[in-house]
């Protein structure tokens, strides 16, 4: 366990990197929650809110609480259920809480990067939790360093926290306006001062953030499923470019950036990241996924005996494919829900079993059948060949793979840890080559146009950059800066031979 403070030693900022992974899945963003509720056990409420958002990050978890006089923060590595003991929650007394569960996109996986992050500036101290990725972080870090800020983490979230507390302003409206002028990238934020809860969503609305009502108090959360989990009533989404403030006078909009008509909600929230029972921008994720499956059936029809989904993010799409095609839906794969991160590594024999630790086929239901296998996405192409292999071993006659996302062609710089372009199988092989590589009889990807139709709004409302390479804001210059800076610092610290 570690308590964060603003005056810890300052390691260098680490540019975004991608570590090898055995799972062929898009790494999640982060989950954030904020609670303002007098007379309630706000730390416990935040804990269960984070528990509902565990799918968004499994590396670390943290909760801060304010009693009007002091902000206390508790963080730990691991899952939410592992990060807190009963005595930790009892120590986090107050009427305001902020929680965070993390997957590292910018900054490495270490306890110093666990959130909430504490920052203290002229006249204000706060705890901040962040979901997203800021692409001009190095430039902002240099500016803040000149102001005397020190950094205890390697994550962009601390840069945002210091930017807020050192903004040349006194009101929340002016602080947020200043930060929005400075920040480039994606950020949904929840922040707590000693007496105020603040929620902020970036002007493009890349990452979700919603508002709920709880027994006279208020809750902010990445997804509405967290509100359901704690018995809060969904009120609305935080609007893109909006900052809401909750204090003793209730909830109000403290700042709303003048809309310019641009939106860039991450469409991968609907494909994979969000829970199916969440509502994002008035759209139930489960329904969106069902419609993706229906569009897949129209775009890539095939004769088959059964439709199955790779559990669980593709299950709704498989149901949609089945209903549209008239091919019966069935469960051909069972997922082990209790396989998560572990500090006990498998030996080589168990490692060779690979995906079987997570998925197991049902031979009596699929043997001899022609299957439509629906999956949410293919990133590196390291897992789906094993899934196909498992089904082949139990005697499946044909495997027609259907993907309810287009080919992933480009990295994400806004909070989802996709690999570099050289590691993306969709960017380096044709559809036929991918089909042969994974061992399927046929392969069909959902087109961007049909994906947008399934989700239900105009294409201009979504970020499709991972499929098209067209980013909602220019990223290449800032990414080049990160790479050059990382190389410069690497050379500066290298030991001569």
30 is catalytic: yes
Burial class (CB in 10 A: 0-12, 13-18, 19+), 352: exposed
Task: Give the tokens for residue 312.
Answer: 């669980």
Determine contact, residues 190/199, Cβ cutoff 8 Å. Answer: yes
Gap between the Cα atoms of 30 and 313, Å rounded: 17
| Both structure tokens of 298 | 């129209």
Residues with Cβ within 8 Å of 428's Cβ and at least 6 positions away in sequence, in order, are: 421, 422
Q: What stretch of H or E contains 16?
A: none
- Segment (H or E) for 375: strand 370-375
Q: Classify 174 in phi/psi space as left (phi over 0), alpha (psi -120 to 50) or beta.
A: alpha
For the stretch 259-296, what's the b/e string if a residue is b when 16 or more beta carbons lie within 10 angstroms of its beta carbon? Answer: eeeebbbbbbbbbbbbbbebbbbebbbbbbbbbbbbbb
Nearest CA to 95 out of 44, 153, 19, 28 is that of: 44
Q: What is d(CA 403, CA 401) in angstroms, rounded to the nearest whole number? A: 7
Strands 117-121 and 96-102: unpaired
| Run of H or E including 476 | helix 476-493
Please, is 326 exposed, middle or buried when counting C-beta atoms within 10 Å of its C-beta (0-12, 13-18, 19+)? exposed
**Measured between alpha carbons, how far is 53 from 32 in angstroms, rounded to an integer?**
8
Residue among 30, 225, 266, 412 flagged as catalytic: 30
Residues classed as catalytic: 30
């Amino acid at each position: 366990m570690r308590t964060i403070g603003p005056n810890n030693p300052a390691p260098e900022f680490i540019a975004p990197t991608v570590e090898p992974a055995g799972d062929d899945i898009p790494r999640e963003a982060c989950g954030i929650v904020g609670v303002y509720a007098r007379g309630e056990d706000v730390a416990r409420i935040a804990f269960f809110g984070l528990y509902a958002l565990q799918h968004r990050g499994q590396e670390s978890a943290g909760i801060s609480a304010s009693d009007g006089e002091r902000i206390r923060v508790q963080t730990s590595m691991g899952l939410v259920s592992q990060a807190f003991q009963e005595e930790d929650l009892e120590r986090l007394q107050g009427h305001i809480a902020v929680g965070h569960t993390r997957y590292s996109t910018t900054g490495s996986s270490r306890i110093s990067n666990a959130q909430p992050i504490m920052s203290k500036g002229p006249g204000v101290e706060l705890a901040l939790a962040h979901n997203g990725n800021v692409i001009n972080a190095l430039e902002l870090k240099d500016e803040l360093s000149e102001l005397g800020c020190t950094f205890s983490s390697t994550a962009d979230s601390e840069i945002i926290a210091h930017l807020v507390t050192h903004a040349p302003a006194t009101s929340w409206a002016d602080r947020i306006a200043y930060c929005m002028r400075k920040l480039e990238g994606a950020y949904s934020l929840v922040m707590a001062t000693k007496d105020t809860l603040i929620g902020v969503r970036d002007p493009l609305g890349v990452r979700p953030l919603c508002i709920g009502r709880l027994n006279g108090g208020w809750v902010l959360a990445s997804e509405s499923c967290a509100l359901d989990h704690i018995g809060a009533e969904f009120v609305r989404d935080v609007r893109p470019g909006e900052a809401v403030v909750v204090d003793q006078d209730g909830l109000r909009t403290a700042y709303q950036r003048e809309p310019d008509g641009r939106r860039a909600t991450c469409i991968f929230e609907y494909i994979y990241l969000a829970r199916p029972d969440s509502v994002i921008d008035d759209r139930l994720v489960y329904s969106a996924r069902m419609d993706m499956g229906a569009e897949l059936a129209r775009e890539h029809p095939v004769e088959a005996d059964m439709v199955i989904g790779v559990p669980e993010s593709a299950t709704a799409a498989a149901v949609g494919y089945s209903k549209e095609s008239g091919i019966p839906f069935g469960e051909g794969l069972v997922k082990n829900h209790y396989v998560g991160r572990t500090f006990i590594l498998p030996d080589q024999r168990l490692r060779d079993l690979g995906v079987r630790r997570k998925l197991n086929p049902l031979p009596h239901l699929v043997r001899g059948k022609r299957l439509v296998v629906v999956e949410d996405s293919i990133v590196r192409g390291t897992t789906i060949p094993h899934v196909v292999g498992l089904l082949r071993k139990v005697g499946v006659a044909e495997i027609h793979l259907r993907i309810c996302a287009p080919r992933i062609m480009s990295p994400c710089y806004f909070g989802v840890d996709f690999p570099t372009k050289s590691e993306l199988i969709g960017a380096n092989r044709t559809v036929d080559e991918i089909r042969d590589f994974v061992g399927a009889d046929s392969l069909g990807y959902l087109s961007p146009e049909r994906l947008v139709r399934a989700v239900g709004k105009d294409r201009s409302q979504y970020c499709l950059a991972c499929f098209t390479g067209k980013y909602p804001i220019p990223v290449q210059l800032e990414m080049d800066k990160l790479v050059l800076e990382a190389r410069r610092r690497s050379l500066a610290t290298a030991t001569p031979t």
